[in-house]
């Protein structure tokens, strides 16, 4: 009787181990399609990055990876989609630093807490903005622009993608550092501020490389600098403002995040694959075309980058006397 009982118990234990192993194998991440939620409409920078990642991730993970655009309410619509999904790594957020740093700073009821609702996965890259002036502005270098602005305080104006945008805050931080004054002319996005520059309605803008390069090649605008901490491979001949202003850095992050509580297995796998993907020559080329310098940073690097970005943005917003509305 004892032998039968022992044999039965052994068989039960073996079966349990087999079932556990089978379940573990079946649930190995990822075992089904992954959704990349983007808080902006199709065609923007985060959307372009998400589509590049979706194709490359799908190939290496062996699962479909698709993009779901959820624009609206300063990112709150996308954040809600993330928060309503299970914390299992199958619904991820692909966004930019401004959604996580500027929007919560300037919006009283943003609908999400970037520091507690999400966990970092990957610092995909950094998106620098380039300082461009109209072809008729009597400045062909950053030093000449500064001298011109100091000689005529308030006479020069600059366009931005809107009050509180990274374009606006970058310029205000630059002006404060150089001790110059320019008149702010806000527009609804770079799609309006850049044409205004070309038409001579404003003297200067900060904008992404894709929106500027065609006009620069045509001789309708002049590039003078970039707002990142180092020169960008997108235009290595252009000086970084940090060469004149130590520590200056307003290039924004492009990041992948997940809902808080996502299993570490999923975080590590996605982060590891993105780090490899953004080093592939064809992906580097695609990201450069979108105006992104690839990084492929770890969750820890992304967390540090977002903290640093928030500090700089908060300081610039205070200088510009911006308040939450």
Residue 183's closest CA among 227, 147, 207, 153?
153
Is the domain of 122 the same as that of 205?
A: no
Q: Are 188 and 214 in contact (CB under 8 A)?
A: no
CA-CA distance, 24 to 18, in Å (whole number)?
10
d(CA 51, CA 9): 52
Q: Are residues 148 and 65 in the same domain?
A: no
Same domain assignment for residues 256 and 123: yes
Tally of structural domains, the chain: 2
Give 272-302 pLDDT, tens digit per residue. 999 999 999 999 999 999 999 999 999 999 9
- The enclosing domain of 74 has a CATH number of 3.40.190.150
- Residues constituting the chain: 325
> For residue 118, what is the enclosing H or E element?
strand 118-127
Query: Does one domain contain both 295 and 199?
Result: no
Residue 125: other Cβ atoms inside 10 A: 26
Do 69 and 161 sit in the same domain of this protein? Answer: no
Q: Is residue 318 part of a domain?
A: no
196 assigned to some structural domain: yes
Q: Is residue 95 part of a domain?
A: yes
pLDDT tens track for 75-119: 999 999 999 999 999 999 999 999 999 999 898 888 899 889 999
What confidence score (pLDDT) does residue 77 get?
94
Can you give the pTM of this predicted structure?
0.88
pLDDT score recorded for residue 27: 58
Residue 191 and residue 152 in one domain: yes
Structural domain span for residue 74: 34-127+252-299
* 285: in domain: yes
Coil/strand/helix, residue 125: strand
Query: In this structure, are residues 207 and 167 in contact, taking their beta carbons and an 8 Å threshold?
Result: yes
Q: Do 121 and 140 reside in the same domain of the chain?
A: no
Measured in degrees and rounded to the nearest 5, phi and psi for residue 324 equal -65, 140
**Same structural domain, 178 and 218:** yes
Residues 123 and 134 in one domain: no
Quick one: 134 and 197 in the same domain?
Answer: yes
Domain termination site, one of 222, 243, 264: 243
- Going residue by residue through the chain, which has 325 residues, state the pLDDT in tens, using 9 for 90 and above: 444 434 433 443 443 343 333 333 335 899 999 999 999 999 889 999 999 999 999 999 999 999 999 999 889 999 999 999 999 999 999 999 999 999 998 988 888 998 899 999 999 999 999 999 999 999 999 999 999 999 999 999 999 999 999 999 999 999 999 999 999 999 998 899 999 999 999 999 999 999 999 999 999 999 999 999 999 998 999 999 999 999 999 999 999 999 999 999 999 999 999 999 999 999 999 999 999 999 999 999 999 999 999 999 999 999 888 988 8
- The reply to whether 165 and 235 lie within a common domain is yes
Cα 77 from Cα 40, distance rounded (Å): 10
Give the span between the Cα atoms of 77 and 71, in whole angstroms. Answer: 6
DSSP string, 168-217: HHHHHHHHHHHT---EEEE-SSHHHHHHHHHTTS-SEEEE-HHHHHHHHH
Q: Nearest CA to 237 among 173, 145, 142, 144?
A: 142
Please return the burial class of 53, using the count of CB atoms within 10 Å of its CB with bins 0-12, 13-18 and 19+: buried
Query: What is the enclosing helix (H) or strand (E) of 82?
Result: helix 76-84
* CATH number for the domain that contains residue 235: 3.40.190.10
* CA 129 to chain CA mean position, Å: 12
pLDDT of residue 13: 40
Which residues, 6+ apart, have CB-to-CB distance to 310 below 8 Å? 100, 101, 105
| Shared domain check, 145 and 211 | yes
User: Which residues make Cβ contacts (< 8 Å) with residue 186, sequence separation at least 6?
Assistant: 159, 160, 161, 162, 163, 165, 168
DSSP 252-299: EEEEEEEETT--HHHHHHHHHHHHHHTTSHHHHHHHHHHT-EEEEE-H
């Amino acid at each position: 009787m004892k032998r039968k009982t022992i044999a039965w118990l052994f068989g039960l234990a073996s079966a349990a181990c087999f079932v556990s192993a089978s379940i573990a194998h079946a649930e190995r991440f990822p075992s089904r399609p992954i959704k990349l939620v983007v808080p902006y409409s199709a065609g923007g920078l985060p959307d372009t990055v998400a589509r590049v990642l979706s194709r490359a991730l799908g190939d290496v993970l062996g699962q479909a990876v698709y993009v779901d655009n959820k624009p609206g309410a300063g990112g709150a619509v996308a954040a809600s989609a993330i928060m309503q999904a299970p914390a299992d790594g199958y619904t991820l957020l692909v966004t930019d630093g401004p959604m996580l740093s500027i929007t919560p700073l300037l919006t009283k009821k943003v609908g999400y807490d970037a520091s507690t609702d999400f966990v970092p996965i990957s610092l995909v890259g950094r998106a620098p903005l380039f300082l461009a002036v109209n072809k008729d502005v009597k400045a062909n270098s950053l030093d000449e622009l500064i001298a011109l602005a100091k000689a005529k305080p308030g006479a020069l104006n600059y366009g931005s993608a809107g009050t509180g945008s990274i374009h606006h805050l970058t310029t205000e931080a630059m002006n404060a550092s150089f001790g110059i004054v320019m008149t702010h002319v806000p527009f609804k996005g770079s799609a309006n501020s850049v044409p205004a520059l070309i038409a001579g309605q404003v003297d200067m803008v900060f904008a992404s490389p894709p929106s500027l390069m065609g006009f620069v090649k045509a001789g309708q605008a002049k590039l003078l600098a970039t707002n990142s901490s180092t020169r960008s491979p997108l235009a290595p001949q252009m000086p970084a403002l940090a060469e004149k202003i130590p520590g200056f850095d307003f290039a924004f992050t492009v990041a992948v995040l997940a809902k808080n509580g996502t299993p570490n297995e999923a975080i590590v796998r996605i982060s590891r694959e993105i780090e490899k993907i953004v080093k592939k020559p064809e992906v580097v080329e695609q990201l450069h075309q979108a105006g992104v310098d690839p990084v492929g940073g770890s969750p820890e690097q992304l967390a540090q980058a977002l903290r640093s970005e928030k500090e700089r943005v908060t300081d610039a917003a205070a200088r510009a006397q911006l308040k939450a509305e």
